[in-house]
Amino acid sequence: LLRHPHAADRLRTRPDLMPAAVEELLRYDAPVHLMLRRARHDLELAGRAIAPGQTVLLVCGAANRDPAAFPDPHVLDLERSGTRHIAFGHGPHFCLGAALARLEGEVALGALLTRFPDLRLDGPEPQWQRSLNFRGLTRLDVRFTPAGG
């Protein structure tokens, strides 16, 4: 949202969009970009044969930006409907904490947008941890007006 201030402003004026916004933010930049799975039986995926026991690398970050699944996938659209991202996995590997993570996202984003209406990026570009799997920040410089100031 710091890179899309118009979207943050939209959420401030339309807090009812928060559940859809959390889903869209998970789709747009999921915290997990890669998942490994082992095939349980013969299958064909994108014209390629996969044997039982063979490891398959799922690139969730790319799947969540697939133009065949999402119109304008590189656009952050907080009012996007029917988002079926795979930020929490799928099927038997679906994240058990997904409901709690969604709720935490709604509460945290709502509080940040309300308490710090002028929150913005400041300083160098955000720095990301070095990981092929998990997406997380090691540095994020922001600026805001303190409460009462």
Name the residue among 43, 28, 25 with its Cα closest to residue 102: 25
Q: Are 11 and 4 in contact (CB under 8 A)?
A: no
The residue among 70, 66, 46 whose CA lies nearest residue 56 is: 46
DSSP 51-87: -TT-EEEEEHHHHTT-TTTSSSTTS--TT--S----T
Q: Domain map of the chain by residue range?
A: 5-118
**Local confidence pLDDT in tens for the 149 residues of the chain:** 999 999 999 999 999 999 999 999 999 998 888 888 899 999 998 899 999 999 999 898 899 999 999 999 999 999 998 778 999 988 888 999 999 999 999 999 999 999 999 999 998 999 999 988 888 999 999 999 977 65
pLDDT value of position 127: 95
Which tokens go with 4?
């899309």
This prediction's pTM: 0.88
Other CB atoms within a 10 A radius of the CB of residue 13 amount to 9
Residue for token digits 């009812």? 16
**In the prediction, which pLDDT does 148 show?**
66
Report the pLDDT value the prediction gives residue 84, as an integer from 0 to 100.
87
Helix (H) or strand (E) holding 138: strand 137-139
